[in-house]
Structure 1
Amino acid sequence: MGIMTTDKTKTVGEALIDILEANGVDVVFGIPGVHTVELYRGLAGSKIRHITPRHEQGAGFMADGYARVTGKPGVALVITGPGLTNTITAMAQAYQDSVPMLVISGVNARSSLGHGKGRLHELPDQRAMMATLALMSHTLLDPNDLPSVLARTFAILQSSRPGPVHIEIPTDVMAEKISIGAITATAVKGPRAARSGVEKLADKCRQATRPAILCGGGAIGAADQIRQLAEQIDAPLITTVNARGMFAGHPLSVPASPSLAPVRDLLADSDLVIALGTQMGQTDYDMYADGGFPELDNLVRVDIDADQLARGPSASLPVLSTVDQLLGDLLPMLEGLTGHADGAGRAAACRDAVFAGLGPKMKAEVRVLETIVETLPGCIIVGDSTQVIYSGNLYFEPGRPKGWFNAATGFGALGYGPPAAIGASVGEPEAPVVCIVGDGGFQFSLAEIGSARDCGARVIFLVWNNDGYGEIRNYMLDCGIEPEGVTPSAPDFSKIAEAYGLPAVLLGDVSELAGALTELAGVSGPSLIEIHETNTHGATA
């Protein structure tokens, strides 16, 4: 990122690409159409790579996966009308999981807006529709506003709770010429806590005898600082789904869901709980909707979003700040502090109790996940909503930060995994990426394996085949409901892979997984492994 100098008159589409490039955008995901071709005019001559999905929802999910591993906004470029409505599900997932995403769409010519004359791809009020789920939705009516609108966009994406931003550009505006001077990258920091609040937290840390730390996705960028804090006050480190892997292998790490009784007991027994960058929402803290998360008398919440501090569990000390800036101010105040709270012992007891409480099927699924991490060090595991992912969300330690994320939390969109894994691979091409997806969820976005082939994404698609929607089938049975609509037929995934030119392996025994992963990790592009829950020996017990 930096300053790009230009003294030429350019079209809005060309200037858009220049500004994106100056702000560090190196990839866009999209499907061109008549309503966006002018936005592509400057793309071929830029350094920005274009990835073409098979569906605009895939463009959004790819942008999501890219953003999670790089920390930069994922950018999707889609046509007006159906292109944008196809992207809404991905935007909603990004909103729920606080993932920075920029969606740039076309919209019909300014003179047609609001008249309802049946133009191609017309919606009654596209911007108003998008404003319900975007942090900002803006219609570029004046072409000269482009630099200021994008500056505002990147300021929002950098300085507040991340999520999707939408900009729509009318087709007649795209080709208009504008003059822009030097383009400066937008650089804005989020909120920083008042010194008085930091001092109060420092006092609590000094006084605590049984502290604990909760980490959410908003804490990932401050992992080293958090580790230092935890070691100083001797506090177990409990990570939610989007924070898993931050402290892999550390004796204080508790990679388990706060929805589980042993984790809740640990928190209830703590005299100080510091929650860093976590929404404390239901899918992490009350997965079973039993209302059993304990009331915490000495809860400190640190969040970038003032609204979020007012929601959920009330805190004895709410702190409006980015996690890194808060810890940058806090740690010098604690210099020389050495806690003796048996943090490692408390963490180990919690880990043991969580694993012991899992059923045989879940333990088998966690062992599959452990095999992946042991076989492919440094890998990224991207999941869809499928049973093995639910087990991992309850208890599993990935081998690295940003090495575990999925759609079985937040918005919970099926079909998320395959395109998000492609985005992750594009964002970090040297890392092996494993996408775990069920046979039902895979069929939501099956064609995206072609996109993976086109862009050379090193993704191993690991299909967990349980002959339908197994999680929902079991839930129906638990509720005393005769299962209906939960057994959609699946294709022969190996033949589908072959049709796209991907190598594929159907495992007869789970013990073959490590060998298959090792072999396919050497493939220059995507590949596929299938585990059948009943036909693959060892898959469930």
Structure 2
Amino acid sequence: MSERNGGDLVVESLAALGATTVFGLPGQHALGAFDALRRSKLEYVGLRVENNAGFAADAYARVTGGAAPLLVSTGPGALMTLAALQESAAASVPVVAIGSQVPVAGLGGGRHGYLHELVDQKASFRDIVKSVHTVRTASQIPSALAAAWETALTAPYGPVWVEIPQDVLLAPVTVPPVGELAAEPRPLRPRAELVAEAAALLSRAERPVVLAGGGVVRAGAEAELRALAERLDAPVACTFGGKGAFPWEHPLSLRSWLEDRHTTDFLEDADVLLVVGSGLGELSSNYHTFRPRGRVIQVEADLGKLESNHPALGIHADARLALGALAAAVGERRDAAAPGVVAALLERVRERIDGQDLGLERGVLAAVRDALPEDAPSFWDMTILAYWAWSAWPGPMHSAQGAGGLGYGFPAALGAAAADRTRPVLAVSGDGGAMYSIAELATARQYALPVTWLIVDDGGYGILREYMTDAFGEATGTELARPDFVALAGSFGVPAVRTSPERLRDDLAEALAAPGPSVVVLPACLRMFAPTHLG
């Protein structure tokens, strides 16, 4: 096709908005857009399952800090992205999902019997994404994509859905190529009177504490958080989604032991607790057992989460802008005892773990930590080792704990690797979660992505086995037949090795240092540390 069409407007618009990479999977109604990719400078990374393409886009957005385009087809292809978009919504990740539609004449459903036709496709996305955009003519494409892009990158970040009919993608266009598109996210600034009130409370506090959530990481507010904490001498705990928001070894760092009752008690005892970028949901509140006794200040970009679980001085704002304003407004507060108080709390946590005979689990996590280069990102599936990492991993990590779906780790790691091929990326899965993503070994091989996939093979859904055994005395539906993962990876042309806890560090380090994808399989039955949220 020598002439340009609606598909060209899609890829030209994405490039004008700053995109360099597109994730997706083609389908009949979307072929006009995929053909246009051939004529563009955008890099296309095609995965084997649409849900995995969504996870890859999610991770790309997380590591780059920008929006990530996801391109899929109508009906089944579109619906397959829903679990991935739910994770992006729960974790506030800006994914711009673009799906095709049946021809314009068929919009509304059922009249023409088109393949993949849904009565109301966009209705399936409304409860998940921030906004839905339907295009009906080619001239609407650039503006619709710009509006979607702006919405995705406006705090709180989140996924958006754009759908474009097949005939609009294929229709010839005579307008000039898209040059510039305006998509300026609106800054979500804190109100001055709220900053002043919060600053006064923090300045007068005797026991101020900060709880930093994922909103701090998404906003890139790590420097502002550290400045405020050091100005107040306030201890800082990070939620599981907020890993990396505050330095792990800092003398004011309470780290992330949020499922430990000692930490919960410490947070409850604060006379002023500043919660930033967290809705204090199930995991961040130790399964809703957290009962603050002092004044709570909550900074949250998602209006629906503001004071949704606890009364607070609510500040609807971007975390970076709010923390910067607070750091400038608070009075300097010195507390020489704060580091000792933090150290004493961490010692109590350590003693509790020491008393539970969990040497295997702690050794495995330490081996993974030692093998991974300091600047290499890691992506974790919903598996026991990831649950350990939420509390004990000493730096940034990415997991699917926002929505909690299986299959995130490996395709997400592929998305991160597509953003930067100069450093290795680690994916961690259990054998159950790994089966969601086996097809993506072909993707890893096709694009030579430097991802090392650690599969902890315990013969089933390990965490569900543990939950059911604890609750009912025995587990049902958790035991799984599984392949020889080493041989299976080899059939894809991906190097693989079976390791042991004793060899894990060296085998994993070797795999991470090698170019391209690799798989390391660890047969092991890991246990969780005893929960303390009922204490």
Give the structure-1-normalised TM-score: 0.91
2-side partners of 1:414 and 1:37: how far apart?
A: 29
Aligned with 1:377 (options 374, 377, 380):
374
- Listed one character per residue, the Cα deviations across residues 88-144 of structure 1 (whole Å, up to 9, x for unaligned) are 111111111211111101010011122414210111110122212111112101322
Q: Distance in 2 between matches of 1:470 and 1:484?
A: 12
- Shift of the alpha carbon at 1:343? 2.6
CA distance in 2, matches of 1:164, 1:361: 42
Distance 2:360 2:40 in 1: 48
1:498-537 residue pairs with structure 2 within 5 A?
A: 498-508=490-500, 510-533=501-524
Quote the Cα distance in structure 2 between the aligned partners of 1:69 and 1:29.
15
State the secondary structure of the residue aligned to 1:160. Answer: coil
Paired AA for residue 199 in structure 2: A
Are positions 1:188 and 2:182 aligned together? no
Are the equivalent residues in 1 in contact too, given 2:109–2:120 (CA < 8 A)?
no
* More displaced stretch, 451-460 vs 252-261: 252-261
Given residue 73 of structure 2, which amino acid in structure 1 is its aligned partner? I
2:411 is aligned with 1:414: no
Distance across 2 between alignment mates of 1:201 and 1:127: 41
Q: Which blocks of at least 5 consecutive residues in structure 1 are unaligned? A: 1-8
Q: For residue 135 of structure 2, what is the aligned residue in structure 1?
A: 140
| Cα pair distance change 1:539/1:157, threshold 3 Å | closer
Offset of 1:539 from its aligned partner? 12
Q: Does 1:73 align with 2:67?
A: yes
Q: CA deviation at 1:404?
A: 0.5
| TM-fit CA distance, 1:172 | 0.9
Is 1:428 aligned with 2:420? yes
- Partner residue, 2:532: none
* Candidates 202, 207, 215, aligned match of 2:199: 202
Q: How does 1:61-460 map to 2 (within 5 A)?
A: 61-116=55-110, 117-176=112-171, 177=173, 179=175, 182-220=179-217, 221-246=220-245, 247-286=247-286, 289=287, 291-315=288-312, 317-334=313-330, 337-340=332-335, 342-358=337-353, 360=356, 362=358, 364-375=360-371, 376-398=373-395, 403-407=396-400, 409-460=401-452
Counterpart in the other structure of 2:7: 13
Q: Is the contact made by 1:366 and 1:396 (CA closer than 8 Å) also made in structure 2?
A: no
**SS of residue matched to 1:284:** coil
Q: Pick which of 363-372 and 443-452 moved more.
A: 363-372
Q: Partner amino acid for 1:57? A: N
Pick which of 96-105 and 350-359 moved more. Answer: 350-359
For residue 42 of structure 2, what is the amino acid of its counterpart? I
Please state how far the C-alpha of 1:427 moved relative to its aligned partner: 2.1
Over the aligned positions, Cα root-mean-square deviation in angstroms equals: 2.2
Task: Spell out, residue by residue over 1:214-240, the C-alpha distance to the aligned partner (whole angstroms, 9 max, x if none).
Answer: 111110201011111111101111111
Question: Whole-Å Cα distance in 2 between the matches of residues 11 and 248 of structure 1?
Answer: 52
Corresponding letter in the other structure for 2:233: D
Q: What code does the residue aligned with 2:159 have?
A: P
Residue 419 of structure 1 contacts residue 445 of structure 1 at CA under 8 Å; is this kept in 2? yes
Tell me which residue corresponds to 1:5: none
Between 1:130-139 and 1:171-180, the stretch displaced more is: 171-180
Shift of 1:341: 5.7
Note closer, same or farther for the CA distance 1:476–1:115 as it changes in structure 2 (3 Å cut).
closer
Following TM superposition, the consecutive aligned residue runs of length 4 or more in structure 1 with deviations greater than 6 angstroms are none
CA deviation string 1:420-440 (max 9, x = no partner): 111122123333211110011
1:342 and 1:426 map into 2 onto residues whose CA distance is 46
> How far 1:496 sits from its partner (Å)?
0.8
Q: Equivalent residue of 2:364, what SS?
A: helix
| Structure 2 letter corresponding to 1:374 | D
Amino acid at match of 1:153: A
In the alignment, is the contact (CA less than 8 A) between 2:262 and 2:345 conserved in 1? yes
Secondary structure at the counterpart of residue 476 of structure 1: helix
Distance 1:173 1:355 in 2: 61
**Secondary structure of 2:502's match?**
helix
Alignment partners' CA distance in 2, 1:178 and 1:360: 70
- Displacement of 1:304 in angstroms is 1.2
SS in 2 for 1:434: strand
Letter in 1 for 2:514: V
8 Å CA contact 1:26–1:49 kept in 2: the answer is yes
**Alignment-mate amino acid for residue 405 of structure 1:** H
Q: Identify if the C-alpha distance between structure 1 residues 511 and 482 changes in structure 2 by more than 3 Å, giving closer, same or farther.
A: closer
Work out whether 1:35 is the aligned partner of 2:29: yes
Name the CA distance, whole Å, in 2 between partners of 1:53 and 1:394.
31
Deviates more, 1:12-21 or 1:348-357: 348-357
The 1:307/1:353 distance shift into structure 2, 3 A limit, reads: same
Q: Alignment partner of 1:479: what SS?
A: helix
Q: 1:432 to 1:33 in 2, by over 3 A?
A: same
> Partners in 2 of 1:363 and 1:49 — Cα distance?
45
Point out the more displaced range, 416-425 or 340-349. Answer: 340-349
Worse overlay, 389-398 or 163-172: 389-398
Kindly provide the amino acid, as one letter, of the partner of residue 254 in structure 1: L
Q: Is the 8 A contact 1:255 1:396 kept in 2?
A: no
Deviation per CA, 1:167-196, whole angstroms, max 9, x where unpaired? 000011112326266423412233101211
Identical counterparts, % of pairs? 32
Q: Secondary structure at the match of 1:264?
A: helix
Mean CA deviation greater in 352-361 or 494-503: 352-361
Q: Does 1:48 align with 2:48?
A: no
Shift of residue 464, structure 1, vs aligned partner: 0.6
Q: Structure 1's 260 and 36: CA in aligned 2 closer, same or farther, altered over 3 A? A: same
Per-residue deviation, 1:389: 0.8
Q: In the aligned structure 1, how far is the partner of 2:62 from the partner of 2:426?
A: 15
- Give the count of matched residue pairs: 520
CA contact (8 A) 1:355 1:363 kept: no
Q: Distance in 2 between matches of 1:33 and 1:136?
A: 23
Following the alignment from structure 1 to structure 2, what is the Cα–Cα distance between the partners of residues 189 and 12? 28
Letter in 2 for 1:222: A
Instruction: State the Cα distance separating 1:446 from its structure 2 match.
Output: 1.0
Q: Alpha-carbon deviation of 1:361?
A: 6.0
What amino acid is aligned across from residue 81 of structure 2 in structure 1? T
Could you tell me which runs of 5 or more consecutive residues in structure 2 were left unpaired when the two chains were aligned: 530-535
Please give the TM-score of this superposition, normalised by the length of structure 2.
0.92
| SS of match in other structure, 1:241 | coil
Aligned counterparts of 1:86 and 1:145: Cα–Cα separation in 2: 26
Shift of 1:269: 1.7
Q: In the alignment, residue 43 of structure 1 is paired with which amino acid?
A: L
Contact kept? 1:211, 1:341, Cα under 8 Å: no
